[in-house]
């Protein structure tokens, strides 16, 4: 029997908590959006994976995926984070995918997830509001310049490259996170998403909506999280 789930509270602080260690070290009383950055080949991942398993739905969701093995591992880690965040037993967590293919929490109600990864990198976000997350390795070649808006291209071209060597990739990561938050990542047109550095912080804006952005660069990767504005 699973424990009674904690009802999600409307998060007052949109700034997420980045968590880099094992799930057991995450305070279960945390009420901010939680973003777990974990490598699939780490002890933290191994410990979490030892406490969960695939479900029939998990296997069905990724049966035709070319990287099914890694997707299933990320699904299990996602289940572990949702369980820690909600206070429910892992076997009571039901995960699925939206029509657009985005991950979703079917039970308990009222929670939202986002996941990104290129093995062995993995980034998982859980929140009481829609949230989007993306991670990009720094050794990746940046996308083509024609995926930037003219304003973004001018901004990046004017920056000293030695001080901002990965600015293009950071914009790309932010665009992905924004599109994931709004549920249309698979059909997103990069040039229709504008990334701006404002006095209130980084924002992403498109016809579908506006996101506040939180980004960090560490361990050979860029991570971006998109949340609803206050």
Global confidence as pTM:
0.91
Model pLDDT, residue 2: 45
Q: How far is CA 92 from CA 14, 109, 148, in A?
A: 27, 12, 42
Q: How many CB atoms lie within 10 A of CB 11?
A: 17
Q: Is 35 exposed, middle or buried (0-12, 13-18, 19+ CB in 10 A)?
A: buried
Model pLDDT, residue 80: 97
d(CA 18, CA 94): 24
Domains of the chain, each with CATH number or no CATH: 17-128 (3.90.470.20), 135-227 (3.90.470.20)
d(CA 193, CA 73): 30
Q: Which two tokens stand for residue 189?
A: 């047109």
Angle, in degrees to the nearest 10, between helices 167-181 and 150-157: 150
CA atoms within 13 A on the CB side of 207: 6
Residues 6+ apart with CB under 8 A from 127: 11, 16, 33, 34, 111, 112, 113, 227
Instruction: Report the chain (230 residues): mean pLDDT per 10 consecutive residues.
Output: 51 79 94 96 97 92 90 96 95 92 94 94 96 91 82 91 88 96 91 93 96 95 94
d(CA 185, CA 183): 6
**Among 36, 31, 30, 32, which residue's Cα sits nearest to residue 18?**
36
Q: Are 40 and 47 in contact (CB under 8 A)?
A: no
d(CA 205, CA 217): 22
Model pLDDT, residue 195: 97
Model pLDDT, residue 1: 38
Question: If residue 205 lies in a helix (H) or strand (E), which one and from where to where?
Answer: strand 201-206
CA atoms within 13 A on the CB side of 23: 25
């Amino acid at each position: 029997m699973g424990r009674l789930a904690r009802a999600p509270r409307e998060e007052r602080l949109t700034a997420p908590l980045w968590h880099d260690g094992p799930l057991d070290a995450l305070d279960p009383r945390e009420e901010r959006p939680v973003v777990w950055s974990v490598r699939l080949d780490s002890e933290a991942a191994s410990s979490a994976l030892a406490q969960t398993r695939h479900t029939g739905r998990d296997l069905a969701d990724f049966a035709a995926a070319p990287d099914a093995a890694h997707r299933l591992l990320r699904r299990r880690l996602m289940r572990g984070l949702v369980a820690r965040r909600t206070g429910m037993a892992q076997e009571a967590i039901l995960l699925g995918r939206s029509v657009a293919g985005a991950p979703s929490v079917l039970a308990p109600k009222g929670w939202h997830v986002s996941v990104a990864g290129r093995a062995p990198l993995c980034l998982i976000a859980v929140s009481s509001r829609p949230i989007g997350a993306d991670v990009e390795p720094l050794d990746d070649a940046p996308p083509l310049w024609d995926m930037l808006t003219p304003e973004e291209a001018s901004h990046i071209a004017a920056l000293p490259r030695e001080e901002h060597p990965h600015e293009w990739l950071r914009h790309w990561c932010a665009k992905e996170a924004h599109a994931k938050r709004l549920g249309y990542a698979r059909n997103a047109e990069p040039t229709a998403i504008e990334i701006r550095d404002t006095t209130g912080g980084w924002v992403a804006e498109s016809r579908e909506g506006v996101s506040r952005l939180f980004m960090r660069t560490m361990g050979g990767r860029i991570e971006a999280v998109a949340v609803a504005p206050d």
